[in-house]
Amino acid sequence: MTLYQSIAVLGSLGVVSGIVLAVSFSRLKVEDDPLVEEILQALPDINCGACGYASCHAYAELVAEGKAPADMCAPGGPETEEKIIRIKGGDLSSEKKIPKNAVVHCKPQKRIFSAGYCGIETCSAANISGAGLLCRFGCLGFGDCLAACPFDAIKINSSGAAEVIPEKCTACGLCVRSCPRDIILMVDYNDGRASYVGCSNTQEGKNTRKVCGSGCIACGLCVKRAPEGTFVLEDSLARVEHSGGEINVEEIKCPTGCIYESVEKTKN
């Protein structure tokens, strides 16, 4: 067989194979569900995974099939939820949902160390040894949450601890899941504001003082001075139970200054 004959045979095989593949594709392809495509158009399509699914398309398919709710897209928020409900022909709830943002329940003025750290510079790795940080409840500061956030809504502040930027936070929860010390939580934002205790230390007050100058010492002043039911004390730690009432942080006069108000500016 000459070179030209070989080329001709291979070319013919290629043409025949292409025809077979084209016919097979046209007969076997699964048509996209128009409802899925419509829902996908309503989503941000950033594939952040905050909804718990692999991609926006995977989530859209489950919503179309009725296997996932319409309110799981945190970046899209209430507006996206309403669009999806309208697309599916559902009724919009008249109940107003309270928006949420993440906050870091550790806000030291200065972190205190007993030793240096030479290990892997991630919070998950440093958490094993404590990285020399005296407070075993405090932020390790290596930014696992920062790396997990797809919206640049977290920074490492001047004290070396993580801090959420409220106007950029979408309440996707990725930072919450990334923190090995479980000190990042979602809080309710009423009228763009949220009060929280910037501490997660459940030791007795005298022991908290030894490891952090701005930790909660469970003195109970916030429980007494804030509107009834606003704060509770559990395991030697104050926390906000209900933020519906107006909380005046200055009037509480927390002796260690560990009660903060997070104010959400206009979102971009």
Residues 6+ apart with CB under 8 A from 7: none
Smallest CA-to-CA distance from 49 within 173, 166, 152 is with: 173
Identity of residue 244:
G
- Assess contact for 44 and 76: CB atoms under 8 A: yes
> Angle CA(128)–CA(141)–CA(202) in degrees, nearest 5?
65
Tens of pLDDT, residue by residue over 136-187, are 999 999 999 999 999 999 999 999 999 999 989 988 889 999 999 999 999 8
Residue 96 scores a pLDDT above 60 = no
DSSP letter for 84, please: H
CATH code that applies to domain 100-263:
3.30.70.20
Domains of the chain: which residue ranges? 34-87, 100-263
162 strand-pairing partners: 156
| Band of residue 220 on the pLDDT scale cut at 50, 70, 90 | very high
261 strand-pairing partners: 195
| Band of residue 19 on the pLDDT scale cut at 50, 70, 90 | confident
What pLDDT does residue 24 have? 59
Higher pLDDT residue, 75 or 197?
Answer: 197
- Which region, left, alpha or beta, applies to residue 92 given φ > 0 means left and ψ of -120 to 50 means alpha? beta
- Assess contact for 47 and 26: CB atoms under 8 A: no
Tens of pLDDT, residue by residue over 20-62, are 666 655 555 555 688 888 888 989 888 888 887 888 988 889 8
Cβ-based burial of 197 (10 A; exposed 0-12, middle 13-18, buried ≥19):
buried
DSSP reduced 3-state for 76:
coil
pLDDT (mean) for 95-109: 84
CATH code that applies to domain 34-87:
1.10.15.40
- Rounded to the nearest integer, the mean pLDDT of the chain is 85
| Band of residue 268 on the pLDDT scale cut at 50, 70, 90 | very low
